[in-house]
Amino acid sequence: MLDLRLWMLGFGLLIGLAFPFVVVLLGVPRDIALRPSFFTATLVAGLVVAEVNHLLARTVVGVRLRSLVGGMQRVEGSLVDASRSGDWAGCDPAACTVPVDSTDELGEVAASFNRLVTGLSNSHQVSDGIKSLSRAFAAHLELGALAEATLGELSIRTACDAACLLVVNNGRVEVGGSSGVRDAEQLVAGETVLTALRTARPTVLHLSADVMVSGSLVDFTPQEVQVVPVSYGVVPVGVLVVAFAQPSSPQARAVLNATMPGLAVALNNALNHENLQRVAAMDPLTGVYNRRFGLQRLTEEFGRSSRSGDPLGLLMLDLDHFKAVNDTYGHLVGDRVLQTVVRAARQVLREGDVLLRYGGEEFLIALPGAGRDEDGRTGPSRRGRGRGHRGRPAHPGHREHRWIRATRQQRHETARPDRGGRRGHVQLKGVRTRPLGHRLTAPTDRSRLGIAVRG
């Protein structure tokens, strides 16, 4: 504060020089006022007053200025460290703000500096939230994992108390994932959700404390609910429903608005990936697993059975003389036969059983948890049962192709050619036949699984 001291000393000298002439104008005799000793006294008094003012300025103003400078230096150091490490925790307003102890200009400067620090911290919170959500979008291609990671990051970055991600999959609204919501299925047909999808406009519901929300949805009373449509271009791919027990902060709203385009791209990629997986895994004619994907599932079930010791049954089905049906009635009728067999099989199989089309008219069924007795109830006696493919696996080193080879070998050993049958006869071994066109109903016992076509 050297310049301030010089200015104050100069001002004190000026006051000391001018003071004798001023007192003459006020009536003091000139011989007294203009005496050299009086001049000297006024000059000394001016310098003393200037020095006292300087000391007061250093004591009162200087301390506040040094506090402001210290805060700026801390912010500068935090910014430098954060730019190197990527950790912005040091820019916390509680650590970088300066005290505001007056309402004068210096107090206003301190308050402005504190608002700057708070704004900088909020800006980095939004930036960190966008980065974290973007990393979650880029790290997951599976729809379930993407929804879980997105909702987890949203709960951290927006401080929301409940959230649900609804996706539009093949024209239907489905629950992709939820957090803090008891029954997310209730949101699928909600009018607010459907309106948001139809108009592609977000809806914010502000609820007062006396408004009660259905207790089956969340465990708290939300004061704010945001329904944000997620659109890929002009195509709606989902809806994000976010609930807050307290009104959301501007930072939370900024994070939500900034991450919606990225979420739209990630959801579109996940849905496309799921559809491609479905197409690659399914047999286009029958709608069951094709051979490639089905054998992968069989390998997974075998490994699970080997680790847990649970039994695993294997059943192989074959349609006798299926070529004769194609030659006699055409491939369209043959396709209908295959589709009817699959429909009948699905009606008697359990949830979790794996049905795959192994060959042209051959089907393979993996029955997790099915031992010897269950195998016997599921298929015809000793049909599709070999040494290493039912009950508990004999050894973890066995592979699914050894199971299938044993199944095929025993199936051909036990099969009897229908020498007396008429041309065009197709029958699943060990089951009763029905005339073509007869309505097939689900058997009550798994051993009665069959279909027949007669010429």
How do residues 276-306 score in pLDDT, each as one tens digit?
Answer: 877 888 888 998 888 888 888 889 888 888 8
The whole model's pTM is what?
0.58
Instruction: Report the length, in residues, of the chain.
Output: 455
Q: What average pLDDT does the segment 76-93 reach?
A: 72
Is the pLDDT reported for residue 229 higher than 90? yes
pLDDT at 452: 41
The H or E element containing residue 230 is strand 224-232
CA distance 257 to 259: 6
Q: Is 437 helix (H, G, I), strand (E, B) or coil?
A: coil
pLDDT at 373: 61
Q: What average pLDDT does the segment 109-119 reach?
A: 84
Per mean pLDDT, which range of 85-99, 152-166, 204-218, 389-403 is the poorest?
389-403
Is the pLDDT reported for residue 391 higher than 60? no
Cα 413 to Cα 34, 314, 418: the distances in Å are 141, 17, 14
Is the pLDDT reported for residue 220 higher than 60? yes
What is the pLDDT confidence band of residue 425, given thresholds at 50, 70 and 90?
very low
Tokens 């919170």 belong to: 125
Is the pLDDT reported for residue 376 higher than 60? no
Instruction: Share the mean pLDDT of the chain.
Output: 78
More confident residue, 168 or 443: 168
More confident residue, 335 or 120: 335
Q: What's at 111, amino acid-wise?
A: A
pLDDT at 211: 55
Query: Can you give the residue ranges of every domain in the chain?
Result: 2-124, 142-280, 291-453
Phi, psi (5° rounding) for residue 338?
-60, -40
pLDDT at 442: 36
Q: Which CATH superfamily is domain 142-280 in?
A: GAF domain (3.30.450.40)
Range 102-110, long-range pairs (CB < 8 A, 24+ positions): 102/64, 106/61, 106/64, 106/65, 106/68, 109/68, 110/64, 110/67, 110/68
More confident residue, 167 or 371: 167
Q: What average pLDDT does the segment 392-405 reach?
A: 43
CA distance 181 to 329: 55
pLDDT at 2: 67
Share of the chain above pLDDT 90, in %: 25
Range 134-140, long-range pairs (CB < 8 A, 24+ positions): 134/259, 134/262, 137/259, 137/262, 137/263, 137/265, 137/266, 138/266, 140/266, 140/270
Q: What average pLDDT does the segment 383-389 reach?
A: 36
More confident residue, 380 or 110: 110
Please check whether the two domains, 142-280 and 291-453, share a CATH topology. no
Is the pLDDT reported for residue 148 higher than 50? yes
pLDDT at 371: 66
CATH class of 291-453: alpha beta
Cα 186 to Cα 116, 131, 211, 347: the distances in Å are 44, 32, 19, 29
What is the pLDDT confidence band of residue 209, given thresholds at 50, 70 and 90?
low
What is the pLDDT confidence band of residue 372, given thresholds at 50, 70 and 90?
low
More confident residue, 405 or 442: 405
Per mean pLDDT, which range of 40-54, 259-273, 410-424 is the poorest?
410-424
What is the pLDDT confidence band of residue 378, given thresholds at 50, 70 and 90?
low
Q: What average pLDDT does the segment 24-45 reach?
A: 85
Which token pair is 423?
């041309």
Q: What average pLDDT does the segment 377-398 reach?
A: 41
Q: What's at 388, amino acid-wise?
A: G
CA distance 292 to 295: 6
